Amino acid sequence: MLTGTALVAPATVAAESAPAAKAAALPTLSAKGAFLLDDTTGAKKYGKGADVRRQMASTTKIMTAAVVLNTKGIDLNRKVTIKQTYRDYVTREGASTADLRTGDKVTIRQLLSALMLPSGCDAAYALADAIGTGSTVAARTKSFIGKMNTKAKDLGLKNTKFDSFDGISAAGDNYTTPRDLATIADYAMNNSTLRTVVKATSYKAAATTSTGGTRTYTWYNTNQLLGSYSGAFGVKTGTGTAAGPCLIFAATRNGKTHIGVILNGTDRYGDAAKLLDYYSGASTAKTMKLRQLPAGAQRD
């Protein structure tokens, strides 16, 4: 079981290096764990603590989205009625939220944006409740988390476990490694719907209220690499007391597309930019200015 301390898997414990020819120029990262892969070939380009187990905070939601989108017969236009339970959960946990209102009818497609942009834990709860099976909310959410773990096993991941649909883990038993999380992201981003969702810096959704009216939601993407680093098109932020600042990122520069992971990095965006620059031959990291989020927007 994890607490705030990283568990070390038997395999790789030391930082892995890039090809020897480039080793002298490798960027220095703030992250305790990092991984970069070639999105075209799936080949590893960089690893630091690649197989050290760490908590992942809201980057968990990449698997939440992947399970939803790969559910057989999924209807993205299906409407889900928001329950007060979801709002109470967010309030109780002090969690990031899409501010979904009780009684509103929101489509699965809209909930995916609510999940991935403002990192809505209420949206994660709604999706788990809607997609899981069982006669109670508790049973359905437990079933959904089971699906997350089944998918991790299907992907051959031996150092990943989910006990949460959104990354909030009371027991600290929700962990992954940089390598595993990059594998999950690579799998998830094969879905065109998800790629469309995560590249948006903002999204507006019109939902039907309980009285038959219309409510417009506006969500801003917490991933500040978007709009800051040329070619970035995702993916997900996460921040937690034990996990630290985390980031799954993706970008295309100079014809090269990479997907990467930063776990517990005090300068997660700078780390991502350095890796992307180094392996694509770009030079943006030193001059990059982060896109600012509007006042009142969620931070994660």
Whether residue 125 contacts residue 98, with contact meaning beta carbons closer than 8 Å, is answered with no
* pLDDT tens per residue, range 72-90: 999 999 999 999 999 999 9
pTM, two decimals, is 0.91
Assess whether pLDDT exceeds 90 at residue 44: yes
State how far the alpha carbon of 254 is from the alpha carbons of 89, 174, 227, 278, 283, in Å: 44, 36, 17, 11, 11
> Is pLDDT at 17 greater than 80 in this prediction?
no
Evaluate whether 78 touches 68 at the Cβ level (below 8 Å): no
Q: Mind listing the pLDDT tens digit for each residue in 262-273?
A: 999 999 999 999
Tens-place pLDDT, residues 28-40: 999 999 999 999 9
- What distance in Å separates the CA atoms of residue 272 and residue 178, rounded to the nearest whole number? 13
pLDDT of res. 5: 36
pLDDT digits (tens, 9 = 90+) for 217-255: 999 999 999 999 999 999 999 999 999 999 999 999 999
Quote the percentage of the chain above a pLDDT of 90: 90
DSSP state of 132: S
In the predicted structure, residue 152 carries a pLDDT above the cut 50? yes
The rounded distance, in Å, linking the Cα atoms of 199 and 60 is 18
Q: Which residues participate in catalysis according to the annotation?
A: 58, 61, 119
Does position 7 have pLDDT exceeding 80, yes or no? no
CB distance 85 to 65 below 8 Å? no
149 secondary structure, DSSP code? H
- Amino acid 158: pLDDT: 96
